[in-house]
Structure 1
Amino acid sequence: MRRATVPAVLTCGMLLTLTSCALGATEDAGGERPPGAPAGVTAEAGSATSVHVMWNQVSASPPITEYEVYRGGDKVDEVPADDHMVDVTRLKPSTTYVFTVRARDAEGRLSAPSRQVKATTPAAVAADDSPPTRPGKTTGRAAGNRAAQLAWGASKDNKDVVSYDIYQGDTKIHSVSGNQTAAVVTGLRPGQRYSFTIRARDAADNLSPAGNAVALTTAPGADDGRDTAPADFRATTVRADGAFNIELSWMPPPVDGVISEYQIQLDGQPATTLVWGGNAPEGRATYSFYISRESGETHKVRLRAKLPDGTWGGYSAERTVTTGEKG
């Protein structure tokens, strides 16, 4: 079997762009680019008067120092660089809001706005002072050394449970929809003991009592990241217009937040980083790129995802493909 050198240039696609491609950033007077716009922005109503906004952390040099959150054209909050979520409060019931997020680096440069996301607050509930019931039994396990998987039983409310708040100790660290009874918490430290509890929230901002505390300890040191790796990774070669492409497909890793960036490794070396320009797929993702015009060339390929906390997850299984061979 022959091996070929991977082409140095890959063409940007309609849905995915390469980090080497222009992303619309402009240079400042010193010739340096501002940070990239935050990706993976989501917004979910937390109550009739609040919305939980979440985004993926931005990697930049110089480093990011803070994020600015906008409602329409108005800045409503500033968040330290270590965080990537915020609750926007004092909103009106039954109202649709548009949010964007911008990153600011240590030199004071501000990124372009993220894509716009919308959230609609539910209707207010008159004279509702009845909180939801305590969430059912909460369970959890460490997922490697940087993440934890949590699950709990649904709460009940005289109206509806709008969201669940996740606490690490006494600090609220996340919020998910009232239809969701599981979450993955990332950004943890290796070999550390953590305690998590869950509280339910209704449209009137009534909070339930906390569910049972779940204590767990993350794995020490580095690990292979299998709990944050893309799953069911497949690769094959396809001939089109006299050339061979490698076609990839995979399932995103199970984390809260949006996976909008992946790194492909080819024959043991990083080949390219893919960034979704629009809405990243929640289900199976696919990508195809040119590899060669010669048959009989063998390549090994795998990929990993950038997690919402800004760190790289584990690599997928490695697949071997040969141009001209049927998959």
Structure 2
Amino acid sequence: TTQATPPKDDTPPTAPAKLSGGAEGSRAATLAWGASKDDVGVTSYDIYQEGSRIHSVPASETKAKLTGLRPGTVYTFTVRARDASDKSSPDSNALDLTTASAPGAPASTAPTGLRTEIGKEGAEFTVDLSWDQPDTGGVIPAYQLYLNGKLTTTIVWGGTPPKGRATYRLNLADPAGTRYSVKLRAKLPDGKWGDFSAQPTIVLAD
């Protein structure tokens, strides 16, 4: 017997709201979010990490526990709702979590709190980045910025490096709807490159 044809559903669900959570030790995390709405019905929620789906729960659940994470690592999670027609909602808000370091491991040197804001400047899109700089015990002279896992540019300050929260504007000539994952890492006082930040996903849109 074949399965019944699902009801017609042309509208994707609304985005899950108020994603929150926290790390549990060095290898696990818990997430929770507000339920999505759909004109026919939500069937499941998908958890994404850096743009890749890593876990799913049924529509009756609005929380999840993730295991198998790496110690001392920054993760960025988002959640999408899915309906019977396999349409996905927009992303929830992004949540950055850092797992605890393993015993004896050095402190993370990853930038934290990476935020992005999309704008338009003529025919190009602008991406305004801001982040909290890691405590390295010295001046951070430069950062490497990666898009979709590939080095895009090295940010070198023209004068005195900023303290506290840093900012940078990136111009992109790609068409609307282009999706990128963004991450960066600092050049440490000893000349080595530090740990990567969380990796949020952006979509270019007017």
TM-score, normalising length from structure 2? 0.48
Structure holding more strand per residue: 2
TM-score, normalised to structure 1, is: 0.31
